[in-house]
Each structure stands twice: as structure tokens, then as C-alpha cells.
Amino acid sequence: MTFIALSSGALHFAENLEFGVANLIPVDPFDLIIFGGSGDLAMRKLLPALYHRHNDGQLPAGSRIISVSRTPMAREQFVLLVRKAIEEHANAGAPGDAWHAFAERLHYVDVDALAPQSWDSLRDLLEGHEEKIRAVYMATPPSLFGPIAQGFAERGLMSPDMRIVLEKPVGRDYPTAREINDAVGRCFPESQIYRIDHYLGKETVQNILALRFGNSLFEPLWRREVVDHVQITVAEQLGVENRIDFYDDIGALRDMVQNHMLQLLCLVAMEAPSSLEDDAVRDEKLKVLRALRPITQNDAHTSTVRAQYQAGAVDGKAVTGYAEALGRQSDTETFVAIKAELDNWRWSGVPFYLRTGKRLAAKHSEIVIQFKPIPHSIFSESSFTTRPNKLSIMLQPNEGVKLSIMAKQPGPGGFRLQQVSLDLSFAETFGATYPDAYERLLIEVLRGNPALFMRRDEVETAWQWIDGIHAAWQARGQQVEAYFSGSWGPTQASLLLDREQRAWELGT
Ligand code: BG6
């Protein structure tokens, strides 16, 4: 049996594995330095992810996790915080025997990245460890990415095998993204810079590659002659919670579309790369981003919807609206729907409808490839009308692939058609629980494989398209619409498709 596994240099296929189980190849000894090391991302995602990899025996002896933040704190206190975070977020039960060995790896130093003298303790900790892989993870506001990179360069803390990881968002628009990329790029070559989009680490997102390029079946169908349109929905039930002040400056377009949604679009729309090596996939994704037709002031009102959640009920529980939680009125969107179009031969005339929002009816992410209707029906009206085929790639929470086809209802008399699905649930088929995206991405950083990370040109091209939409909204004074928490978004989002005699798969 074959199953996709990851190893140094590229994503590749590992032979002779038991069905459903990818092999775990240990990484080389490393020092992972996490700036923002006591922050939300580190505690909720990064440290639990590392704990899982440690539990699976993937982290070699001598490897250290060095958390860096501005708050002075004793190592023991930090270790207790991490233990609590792991109990809460690692889904691994109470930390068992493996915990003590994991705790030994943990170090904590307080550094103010902007204060030159405060780097001494970090320098002391790193001295003499130059032969190991050195990875610096910046889980900080993007304004610190440049100064931290410079801090390493100026203090001679570079090691031959060094990697710099930038958490999203890289900037808030094209000019700020360029500034950050320039600042980090002055200290490190592009090959050492890893820009995270955690969607690329999700197992089911990678399965898009397996589906498209591991099967010959779909390629002839994957084009404008056969596909009517594509829908990409990333719906969340959570509101913006305790990130509201940060979020209010960002909004859904920058928070979700610039990165996650566009990356999904790229994986669906790109041409077949020649391999899965570092740049091959990224080159193809870049071509898609460059083919995105700009949305202008003239078509923003027919191609985009922006909206904000009001009070309502999610899963039967009453919740407050965005503005109430913020304590003031705001024009920030928590929902966005976009009709995107690609100006290239494969996809010309095929709309890609993107939709994402917070406080929606369900947590549900799905890509739907909607095929064209049959050209002529041989069935009588009483057979029920045929429905076009569709392929649904379910990303979360129930990962799988579903192909809807028409079938004859069983029975001796008459000829009645019914839509049924060929349904593949990954959980049932592989019986495996999926690692969190950050587990995979951290291991890829340590292996030195940048294929699953965004290259500078991808990030900047995506920002240019997003900036165009922002500019169009501003020029038109396009207001945020309202939607109830617990709904599928504003009616305007349904109209976006309704106008073109189409409908969202979910929630209309
Ligand atoms: C993050 C966004 O990048 O992705 C959040 O900043 C969002 O606002 C999150 O909630 C969604 O990720 P996931 O993995 O839960 O779909």
C-alpha cells in the first residue's frame, strides 16, 4: 500500500507501509526558538503540537524548545504554564511519563526584541549549539519580524542551518508585506524563510493534491468545458472572541481570504506541477494568483458581499453581536463572499465563489466542484429532473470526498431518478486521527522542506488582489451588511449566486 508521507526535500510517497499509517521519520537535533513563546498561539497550538511529536518519538535527544517573550518568568513557572496548556489543548489526556522528558526540553528567556542589551540570555543559551538546526518561529505581531531577524544577524546568532518562520499575517496589505519581506530578506535568503499558512498543513487540504494528481480520472474533467462553477466555503461557529481588538483592524478579507481561501483556490485551480519539490507547486500556485481578475469599483457590488454578525443563537446558545462585544460601532466585516474569476484558458468563464464567516450555523469547510448539467435529457419529466454532478471535498469537520451522481431508484415499474453519493469518509477508511496542521508544519520546518510554506511572491501577489478589493470597497463606500449569528450569512450572499441562477450548497 502507499500513503503520502513527508520526508526531507519534498512531499513524497512512501512504499510498503501498512494501510492508513504514514511512517514517522525522526528529525535531526534542533533548537526551536519561539518568539511570542508564552502567547496564545504558542500555548494553544505550537507547544501541544510539539508535545505530540515528542510523544511519537519524532524529536531527537538534545533538541530544545526555547520560548522567548518579554515577560520575566522563572523556567519552572513557564513549564507549569505549558503543562496546563497541554492538558487543555493537546487532546492527549493528562500528560503521562513522556511529559517529564518533554519538560526537560523546555527553556524560557525573557527578551525584548527591540532592546539591544536584553538579548544576552538568549545568546548565552545558544552559544555552543551552532551545529544543530536552528529554527526561529516568530509568533509575534508582524511589526517585530524585521527587528527579530535583524537581532539574530547583528548579534552573530546565525547558524549555518538556520530557518526563520513567519506566522501569518505577513503585513496588512501589499506595501507592509513588502516592507516585512525586505526587512527579513536583508538578513536571510528566501530559501531560509518559511511563511506559515496553517491550512497548507491540514491533511485534507493536502488531499486535494492526492485527489487531483494521484488519479487520472479527474484531470480531463477539471476545466471550463465540464465545470460550471466552484464553491469554497470556510464557515466558523466561533466569533472573534478575545482577539476582537486585533481583528477589528483586520476583518475577514485579510484574516481568511488573503491566505487560507486563496491557497485553497490555488490548489483547486492550478495546473499539474512537475513534481512536489520545493518550488514546483509554488510556481503553479503563483500563476493562479496572477490570473485572478482584479475586482474593481465597478463590479465590487455584484462580485463581493461584506457583512458583520449581529446577536443571535449558535447551537441553541444566545450570543452577542460583534459591535456589542467591541463596545462600539464598527465597519469591519466578519463575513465575506466573493465571486472570483480566473483569466486563463482552463478556467475562463468559471466562477469561483468564496465564502467565509464567523458565527455561522456550523463549523464546516468544503470545496464543491459543480459540473455542468447534461446537454439533453432522455428521461421523461416524471422521472424527476436530473441534477448536475458535483464533487465535494470536505475539509472539516468530517473529512472526505463525495461524488454526487444520478441513479435509478430500485423497483420493477417506471423509471425514476434519484441523486445519490459515492461517499468516502477518510476517518472510516483510514481509521486514523489527523495530526494538527502545526505538527506537520513544524516538522517540515525542522526538515528544511519549504514546499508547504508561502513564498514571498505568492504572499505579495495575493495581497495585491486583496488590496484591490479593499480599494474598491472604499471607493464605493460599500457598507457592511448584517447577518444573525447562527445563520449562513446575509441574504446578499445568497443573491450573489441567485443572480446567476446558482445556489450555495449549504445554507440556502
Ligand atoms: C486563522 C484566523 O488563521 O484561522 C482565525 O486568523 C480563524 O480567525 C482560523 O479562526 C481558522 O482556522 P481553522 O484551522 O480552525 O479552520
pLDDT tens, 306-346? Answer: 999 999 999 999 999 999 999 999 999 999 999 999 999 99
Cα-based angle 142, 395, 408 (whole degrees, multiple of 5): 160
pLDDT of residue 204: 87
In terms of average pLDDT, the best of 5-9, 157-161, 384-388 is 157-161
Which atom of ligand 1 is the closest one to the Cα of 199?
Answer: 14
Question: Which of 236, 257, 356, 365 has most ligand 1 atoms within 8 Å of its beta carbon, as the pocket-test mutant?
Answer: 236
Which atom of ligand 1 is the closest one to the Cα of 396?
Answer: 16
- Confidence grade of residue 116 (pLDDT, cut at 50, 70, 90): confident
Structural domains of the chain in order of their starting residue, each with its CATH number: 8-198 (3.40.50.720), 200-370+455-498 (3.30.360.10)
pLDDT of residue 92: 66
- Confidence grade of residue 22 (pLDDT, cut at 50, 70, 90): low
Q: Whose CA is nearest to atom 15 of ligand 1?
A: 236
Q: What is the average pLDDT across 198-227? A: 95
The residues, ordered by sequence, that sit 6+ positions from 226 with a Cβ below 8 Å of its Cβ are: 220, 371, 372
pLDDT of residue 309: 98
Give how far the C-alpha of residue 135 lies from the chain's centroid of Cα atoms, to the nearest Å. Answer: 21
Nearest to 507 by CA among 227, 317, 234, 230: 234
Q: What is the average pLDDT across 156-171? A: 92
The lowest-confidence range among 59-63, 85-89, 452-456, 491-495 is 85-89
Is the shortest distance between the CB of 236 and ligand 1 below 6 Å?
yes
Is the shortest distance between the CB of 436 and ligand 1 below 6 Å?
no
Backbone angles phi, psi at 27, to 5 degrees: -95, 170
Q: What is the average pLDDT across 430-443? A: 88
If you ran DSSP here, which 8-state letter would residue 256 be given? I
- Confidence grade of residue 8 (pLDDT, cut at 50, 70, 90): very low
> pLDDT digit string (tens) for 28-73?
999 999 999 999 999 999 999 999 999 999 999 999 999 999 999 9
Whether a cis peptide bond, with omega within 30° of 0, leads into 175 is no
If you ran DSSP here, which 8-state letter would residue 437 be given? H
Catalytic residue positions? 260
pLDDT of residue 252: 98
Cβ atoms of 168 and 259 within 8 Å: the answer is yes
Q: Whose CA is nearest to atom 10 of ligand 1?
A: 236
Is the shortest distance between the CB of 255 and ligand 1 below 6 Å?
yes
> Is residue 508 predicted with pLDDT exceeding 90?
no
> pLDDT digit string (tens) for 232-289?
999 999 999 888 988 999 999 999 999 999 999 999 999 999 999 879 999 999 999 9
Is the shortest distance between the CB of 505 and ligand 1 below 6 Å?
no
Q: In 107-197, where does DSSP find H-type helix?
A: 120-126, 145-154, 174-185
pLDDT of residue 70: 93
Q: What is the average pLDDT across 397-403? A: 92
- Report the distance separating Cα 45 and Cα 86, nearest Å: 9
The H helix count followed by the E strand count for the chain is 18, 18
Q: What is the average pLDDT across 139-160? A: 93
Backbone angles phi, psi at 86, to 5 degrees: -70, -40
pLDDT of residue 23: 66
Residue with cell 460599500: 478
Which atom of ligand 1 is the closest one to the Cα of 260?
Answer: 3
Q: How far lies 387's CA from each of 25, 114, 339, 404, 499, in Å?
A: 46, 61, 23, 9, 19
